[in-house]
Amino acid sequence: MNTFTYLDFELIKLLYKENNLSQRMISKRLNCSLGKVNETLKKLKELNYLNEDNSLTNLGMNLIKKDKSAIILAAGQGIRMIPINNNVPKAMLEINGEILIERIIRQLLEANIHDITIVVGFMKEEFDYLIDQYHVKLVVNREYQEKNNLHSLNIVKDKINNTYIIPGDLYFYENPFLDNEIQSWYMLENRISKHSNVTCNTKNEIIKTKKDGLKLIGLSFINNQDASYLKEHLEHLDDGMHDSLFWEEALYQKNKMFIYGKIVDTNYVDEINTYEELRNVDDHSTHLNNETLSLIADVFKINVEQIKNIKSLKKGMTNRSFLFEINQDKYIMRIPGEGTDQLINRKEEYEVYQVIKDLNISDEVIYMNPQNGYKITKYLNDTRVCNQDDQEDLRKCMQLLKYFHQQDLKVDHEFNVFEKIDFYEKLRGPKSLYKDYDQTKEKVFSLKNIIEKMPKEWRLCHIDANCDNFLFYKEDEEEKIKLIDWEYAAMQDIHLDIAMFCIYSMYNRQQVDNLIDIYFENKCDQQTRIKIYCYISMCGLLWSNWCEYKYTLGVEFGKYSLAQYRFAKDYYNIVIEEMENMK
């Protein structure tokens, strides 16, 4: 990193553009005192960047005229862009008649910047034509789903040398790129954002603050002197332990960025992160014509423009969902996730919702399509999910689960665990990721003989009765509870639901026994307890195969998938041990 100040750089840039400026004129242009101007001119002359007449020396000219390059980060899927995030990468959105990334490229070319690298990932094929049309280079981030854009920048770090770093979702109303750029900077917007914790001090240094800070835009210029430090820091952070980090984290030295801040007005740039932001920038964009929103409009008999405050919700293991408002009432739209059509029979799910609708134990369904699984439900305010480690929460959840089981409901389909294991196995392919899978499967399937000899209570079960599907909410100052997401529900032994709660929560044996005791109010016989252990082993293998199938689709569940396979193996051993003890 260099020892130049922000004013040093700005003065060199100014004198490159204009000659014969008096100190008073320089003071006015750069908004600083005459004394500061005099001090800076003297320093730059001593360093041989300026001649005595304040013109640039060859050293000063070379500083300005170095070739510049650009890196555009466009690998991510843009989850917040729901419901159009599956159809188009954010950088390929049409805004005011232009493709967003083409606008950025055009602005770079206007600034005589031709060395352009684009990091792609999601729908990477969409970007291929840019190679022929604009002679850009494409670099693929194959881990775009698991890692944030710090990894995207790290894989092209060798290209950082007098380089603009540009998120592909920025719409600049005027060209932000200059051919006389020399100092490193990071762009911020001069409005307060609750999502930011940085501000600029009087020296134009970007420092962290405990208050809401200036909005981070993401555009940056890194000169040759600062590039080496950034490259080193990127490599250090991209270690598999910081996958969620944005690349800006590599700019920090403790609580301060090592480059200057460049503050722009709010009307200078728009960041296109959400459907609503796209609509605000260009309400005629062709990408606003979305089938999902048209469906919502048809259901509520309104215009699409009346759908407000669209926000992506946390991506579930099976579906994607988003929140929206109509006339200040909130609703949730569920969109089936990748490969869900292979896993879920939506007609059977629809049948379940018809059977339970009068019990008032589930979320309120406004619309459901039994063909594709699209579903609209009423949003519950002030909600929280069950705390799997809280005894009172567990008591209330098991009480509701038992109440549901006692209704003795029936549907025309069942959830056969062993058949589902084989089915998911076929979906994920002929070879498991686990070397001892065949031996493990043989042991788990041997439990069928034990299960068949045990009594069962065959009724409609939730099947996916995990802690996140028990939703606590407030109504008339009273906390109540719902059981949501019934897409796997089918006929089964009701005690399978207890096993499912345990494996999702990744309980140890003590916690498993505790949950069983809560459900049975400390009256569970040993045979039933062993049966639940069998179900834990069986369902562990079931969801392990499910995770392997999702992995083939590019969806990774980390330690959850490993835990499921361990349940299959460990609880088989527990069952065998307990059966021996009963002899």
Tokens of 254: 């403790």
Say if 94 falls within a structural domain: yes
* Same domain assignment for residues 60 and 70: no
User: Is pLDDT above 90 for 386?
Assistant: yes
Tokens of 284: 């005629």
| Confidence at 1, pLDDT banded by 50, 70, 90 | very low
What pLDDT, on a 0 to 100 scale, did the predictor assign at position 341?
64
- Whether the CB-CB separation of 384 and 445 falls below 8 Å is answered with no
Distance of CA 299 to the CA centre of its chain: 29
| Confidence at 296, pLDDT banded by 50, 70, 90 | very high
Of 64, 97, 113, the one marking the end of a domain is 64
Nearest by Cα to 539 from 510, 565, 573, 578: 565
CATH number at residue 137: 3.90.550.10
Q: What is the 3-state secondary structure (H, E, C) of 331-359?
A: EEEEEECCCHHHHCCHHHHHHHHHHHCCC
* Burial class of residue 411 in the structure, from the number of CB atoms within 10 Å of its CB (0-12 exposed, 13-18 middle, 19+ buried): middle
- Whether the CB-CB separation of 71 and 117 falls below 8 Å is answered with yes
Nearest by Cα to 538 from 409, 443, 413, 437: 443
pLDDT in tens, 497-516: 999 999 999 999 999 999 99
What residues form DSSP beta bridges with 261? 186
CA–CA dist 530, 47 (Å, integer)? 82
Of 209, 236, 271, the one marking the end of a domain is 271
What pLDDT, on a 0 to 100 scale, did the predictor assign at position 440?
96
Nearest by Cα to 103 from 114, 91, 112, 113: 91
* Same domain assignment for residues 343 and 365: yes
What residues form DSSP beta bridges with 71? 117, 165
Tokens of 394: 């567990």
* Same domain assignment for residues 518 and 540: yes
The stretch 368-385 carries a mean pLDDT of 90
Give the count of domains, the chain: 4
| Confidence at 315, pLDDT banded by 50, 70, 90 | low
What pLDDT, on a 0 to 100 scale, did the predictor assign at position 276?
85
* Same domain assignment for residues 403 and 496: yes
pLDDT in tens, 114-152: 999 999 999 999 999 999 999 999 999 999 888 899 999
What pLDDT, on a 0 to 100 scale, did the predictor assign at position 128?
97
Say if 277 falls within a structural domain: no
Tokens of 12: 């060199």
* Same domain assignment for residues 531 and 403: yes
- Whether the CB-CB separation of 496 and 465 falls below 8 Å is answered with no
Q: Percent of the chain having pLDDT more than 90?
A: 64
| Residue scoring higher pLDDT (81 or 57) | 57
- Whether the CB-CB separation of 486 and 462 falls below 8 Å is answered with yes
Look up the domain containing 304 and give its range.
Answer: 290-379
CA–CA dist 153, 9 (Å, integer)? 26
CATH number at residue 55: 1.10.10.10
Nearest by Cα to 526 from 464, 491, 574: 574
pLDDT in tens, 185-199: 999 999 898 889 999
- How confident is the prediction for the chain on average, in pLDDT? 91
What pLDDT, on a 0 to 100 scale, did the predictor assign at position 269?
95
Tokens of 227: 């590039």
Phi, psi of 401 (to 5 degrees): -60, -45
* Same domain assignment for residues 318 and 205: no
* Same domain assignment for residues 413 and 510: yes
* Same domain assignment for residues 141 and 214: yes
Torsional sign, CA 381, 387, 392, 393:
positive
Q: Percent of the chain having pLDDT more than 70?
A: 97
Torsion of CA 230, 233, 238, 242, to 10 degrees: -110
pTM for the whole thing?
0.70
What pLDDT, on a 0 to 100 scale, did the predictor assign at position 318?
56
Helices (H) and strands (E) in the chain, counts: 19, 24
* Same domain assignment for residues 119 and 38: no
* Same domain assignment for residues 299 and 415: no
| Confidence at 573, pLDDT banded by 50, 70, 90 | very high
pLDDT in tens, 323-356: 999 999 999 998 876 556 666 888 999 999 999 9
Q: What is the 3-state secondary structure (H, E, C) of 145-160?
A: CCCCHHHHHHCCHHHC
Say if 276 falls within a structural domain: no
* Same domain assignment for residues 130 and 33: no
Neighbour-count burial for 33-69, b at 16+ CB within 10 Å, e otherwise: eeeebeebbebbeeeebbeeebebeeebeebbeeebb
Q: Which amino acid is at 372?
A: N
User: Which residues lie closer than 8 Å to 381 by C-beta, 6 or more apart?
Assistant: 330, 473, 474
- Measured from the Cβ of residue 424, the count of other Cβ atoms closer than 10 Å reads 21
Q: Identify the three-state secondary structure at position 311.
A: strand
User: Is pLDDT above 80 for 302?
Assistant: yes
What pLDDT, on a 0 to 100 scale, did the predictor assign at position 307?
92
What pLDDT, on a 0 to 100 scale, did the predictor assign at position 240?
80
The stretch 480-505 carries a mean pLDDT of 95
What pLDDT, on a 0 to 100 scale, did the predictor assign at position 229?
92
Of 244, 271, 298, the one marking the end of a domain is 271
User: Is pLDDT above 70 for 208?
Assistant: yes
| DSSP state, residue 21 | -
Say if 281 falls within a structural domain: no
Whose structure tokens read 């100190």? 23
* Same domain assignment for residues 80 and 132: yes
Phi, psi of 176 (to 5 degrees): -90, -5
* Burial class of residue 161 in the structure, from the number of CB atoms within 10 Å of its CB (0-12 exposed, 13-18 middle, 19+ buried): middle
CA–CA dist 557, 505 (Å, integer)? 14
**What is the DSSP annotation of 465-519?**
--GGGEEEEEETTEEEEEE---TT-EEEETTHHHHHHHHHTT--HHHHHHHHHHH
Instruction: Give the C-alpha distances (Å, rounded to integers) separating 87 from 77, 129, 343, 476, 483.
Output: 10, 18, 22, 41, 32
Q: H or E element: which one contains 330?
A: strand 329-336
Tokens of 25: 């004129």
Say if 282 falls within a structural domain: no
Say if 571 falls within a structural domain: yes
pLDDT in tens, 235-280: 999 988 888 899 999 999 888 999 999 999 989 999 998 888 888 8
What pLDDT, on a 0 to 100 scale, did the predictor assign at position 338?
57
Say if 199 falls within a structural domain: yes
Say if 454 falls within a structural domain: yes
**Is the bond into 83 cis (omega within 30 degrees of 0)?**
yes
| Residue scoring higher pLDDT (14 or 230) | 230
